[in-house]
Amino acid sequence: MDIFGYLEGMASQHGPSGHEGPVSQWMAEWFRPLTDSVEIDPLYNVIACKKATVATPDGSPAPKVLLCAHQDEIALMVSDILPDGTLRMGQVGGVDPRILPAGVVKVHASLSGEILTGVVGAVPPHLLSDADRKSNYKREDLFVDLGLSHEAVRQKVAIGDLITLCGPATKLLNDRCAAKTMDDRACVGVLLEAAERLQRMQHMCDVYFVATSQEEVGCKGAAVAAYTVDPDLAVVLDVSHATIPASRPDTTVPLDAPAATYGPFIQHKLLEKLKKTAGEHHIKLNTEHATSRTGTDTDNVQVARAGIPCVLIDLPLKYMHTTVELLDMNVMKECGRLLSHFLCDIDERWDEDLWS
């Protein structure tokens, strides 16, 4: 799969939580040639199914595996129109106000149907007190400048209109890449990489690839998708913090290899199975802990219906929730390779020894 081509495409899509309509259509087209069926549900989850290619030896139904990676993104919204036509911002998901000053954004103007370019402005430093100069700007202090008069803005933009961040895919050294929305569309890319590999492999399970919605506002899409698919087990893919100079000990994973989470929300035997698969295929797999909440779709999928055993694969990412989220494209490929082999290792006896 052309990973960079996919990342360039995904970074140009706009799909804030709850507004994944256009991005879900775009995602569906990627899954269509690789799967047997693709549907978009009422919450904009993209559910693509690839049926088992070999029957179980005992004739039992194929195990159903749910794969989740979220397609929604953090964003902002118009909360006020100021007298000079600039906009005040509210947020959709956790946007770090530190990334905003002098940033470029897109305002999705509902009244005119246009996507307008805006610049985030602030009171300049020489007009601030010494104390204020040492503090970061708060979102409430910043504004979006559309370069339009108050009247023009009023004709185009309504309170509540969405504002998305800009961060095109930028290729760096060593096959590393920075873009907005790597969290978590890069993991949807991992699903696609795995789906492409499965074209040349035999698997006994039915695989449900789901690009979930509304993860950033409480993993809501995944809860619904898990109900709909009713899987036997699930693999969730999400990004995880990679190490940077300011990182505190035991809070990050290295950038250069996939990782898997352990902790109460993760079925430990399934995790052992994932590690075994990784070992057999010489895939380096780091681990990280989550003492309860994982902050991913896992939190809702695990307790969907009567309960679903989950594992969580982590794609390391630097600078999460910025417009320069940075990862190693080779690690995306390794995650896809790991996932495809893991799916091939799921047979009718997958749950024989889960609880001993």
- The answer to whether 278 touches 350, Cβ cutoff 8 Å, is no
Both structure tokens of 243: 């190490």
CA 304 – CA 228 distance, rounded (Å): 10
Chain positions 171 to 210 lying near another protein, rule: CB under 8 A, are 171-176, 178
Closest approach, Cβ 73 to another protein, in A, equals 14
Chain positions 322 to 351 lying near another protein, rule: CB under 8 A, are 322-324, 326
Residue 319 in the binding site for another protein (CB under 8 A) = yes
- The answer to whether 204 touches 346, Cβ cutoff 8 Å, is yes
**Looking at 215, 216, 288, 334, which residue is catalytic?**
215
User: What is the identity of the amino acid at 90?
Assistant: G
Binding mask 47-66 toward another protein (x if CB under 8 A, else -) reads --------------------
Q: Of 3-11, 27-35, 55-63, 135-143, which segment contacts another protein by CB under 8 A?
A: 135-143
- Identify the residue among 54, 244, 289, 353 touching another protein (CB under 8 A): 244
Edge-first strand order for the sheet with 46-50 is 37-40, 46-50, 206-212, 64-70, 233-241, 310-317, 259-262, 286-289
> What 3-state DSSP class applies to 53?
coil
Is 215 a residue of the active site? yes
CA distances from 280 to 157, 232, 285, 342, 351 (A): 56, 24, 12, 10, 20
Closest approach, Cβ 106 to another protein, in A, equals 11
- The answer to whether 143 touches 120, Cβ cutoff 8 Å, is yes
CA 158 – CA 108 distance, rounded (Å): 9
Closest approach, Cβ 72 to another protein, in A, equals 16
Q: Of 1-9, 41-49, 88-96, 186-194, which segment contacts another protein by CB under 8 A?
A: 88-96
Closest approach, Cβ 203 to another protein, in A, equals 34
What residues are labeled active site?
215
Which residues are at the interface with another protein (CB under 8 A)?
Answer: 82, 84, 86, 94-96, 98-99, 101-104, 116-127, 133-137, 143, 145-149, 152, 167, 170-176, 178, 241, 243-248, 251, 256, 295, 318-324, 326
